[in-house]
Structure 1
Amino acid sequence: MSGESGLELDQYLPYRLSVASNAVSGLIARAYEDRFGLTIPQWRLLCVLAEDGGLSQVQIVARTMMDKVTVSRAAQGLAKRRLVGRSENAADGRSHVLSLTPEGRALHAEITPLALAYEAALIEGLALQEVTLLKRLLGRVQAAARQLSGEAGP
């Protein structure tokens, strides 16, 4: 039947990317939720703040491609656990800068080895050159998607 439309779902790249992302996110989400009580958005927020330092929610939205509501909920959950602190944004008095607290940095340091172990297990059957190529191609697909949607950015 798929020959009629020319679209085979299992060969359709956007579908394959979504299914692969959901499979990986689901696997990791269970581990982070069970062991650390974190959602995937909260984990992403922790990572971004660990890498980039203090950021506004607008900057986090741009960096993670998560929507504003998701970022806000993740930030609220992390703030309740005292993993993230809020301070006034000197550049824009209407927003706040989020940054990791010492507890947030400690939790990030505790989870990082697990995250790296999951990544290693996921790519175990791939050669280094394949992993490098996959990362480069994913970056190009992401850039093309941003360009098609009219967004600027890396």
Structure 2
Amino acid sequence: MDRAPGASPPETCAFSRTRVISLQTIRRSRPVTDFNLDDFLPYQLAELSRRVSAGFSRHYRDRYGISVAEWRVLAHLSQDEAVSVREIHRRVGMDKPKVSRAATRLEAAGYINKVVNESDRRLVELSLTAKGRELISTLAPIASDYQARLMEALGTGADEFVGTVRALTGQMAVEEGNGKDA
């Protein structure tokens, strides 16, 4: 066992026999593999998505009191007259309970209507109210400005980057449909 001269032996936890080691020992240890999470593309994309989403959400969260999930529901409803919770779940990749909670909060705030589908009572259709249309009309230019700043930050490669993201998203959708893990 590697121990500095005169150092006391590592302590053990009496009930689990787990060795208690110092943070210095952990920091000196070598990585288990050569894998570097910071270089892993799925991690980089998730981190980028988190940061971009958080950056944009600051523009509407404090001012209008809506969450990222609520923004996504509103944005999708602005594209169609009425959309089911199931369809929004499919489009935005949020789980159904999260979409349902967002819809419930938006309904309570007066931004959307929830109506049970008469032909299939399991489906709940969502639509914007006048107040919801007004909110999305206010938020859409803010979203466009945020997008323009992101595109400007990307410089001359912005269009190529967007094309690559769309192609990768399409490929991942195909693989998901085929049951493949990415």
Provide the TM-score with structure 2 as the length reference: 0.74
When structure 1 is superposed on structure 2, of 137-146 and 66-75 the one drifting more is: 137-146
Q: How does 1:112-151 map to 2 (within 5 A)?
A: 112-127=140-155, 130-150=157-177
Contact 2:72–2:92 under 8 Å retained in 1: yes
1:104 to 116, 122, 132: 132
Match of 2:73, as an amino acid? L
Contact 2:152–2:158 under 8 Å retained in 1: no
Q: Secondary structure of 1:7's match?
A: coil
Q: Secondary structure of 2:94's match?
A: coil
1:74 to 88, 97, 102: 102
Higher helix share: 1
In structure 2, the residue matched to 1:59 is: 87
Q: Which has the larger radius of gyration?
A: 2
In structure 2, the residue matched to 1:92 is: 120
**Aligned-pair Cα RMSD in Å:** 2.0
Q: Secondary structure of 1:87's match?
A: strand
What is the deviation of 1:137?
1.5
Separation of aligned partners in 1, 2:43 and 2:150: 19
User: What does the per-residue CA deviation read over 1:81-110, in whole Å, with 9 as the maximum and x for residues that have no partner?
Assistant: 110001232442322210000100000001
In structure 1, the residue matched to 2:4 is: none
Identity across matched positions, percent: 33
Q: Does 1:47 align with 2:75?
A: yes
Q: Secondary structure of 2:73's match?
A: helix
Q: Secondary structure of 1:52's match?
A: coil
In structure 1, the residue matched to 2:111 is: 83
In structure 1, the residue matched to 2:53 is: 25
Provide the TM-score with structure 1 as the length reference: 0.87
Unmatched runs of 5 consecutive residues or more in structure 1: none
What is the deviation of 1:21?
0.7
Q: Secondary structure of 1:53's match?
A: coil
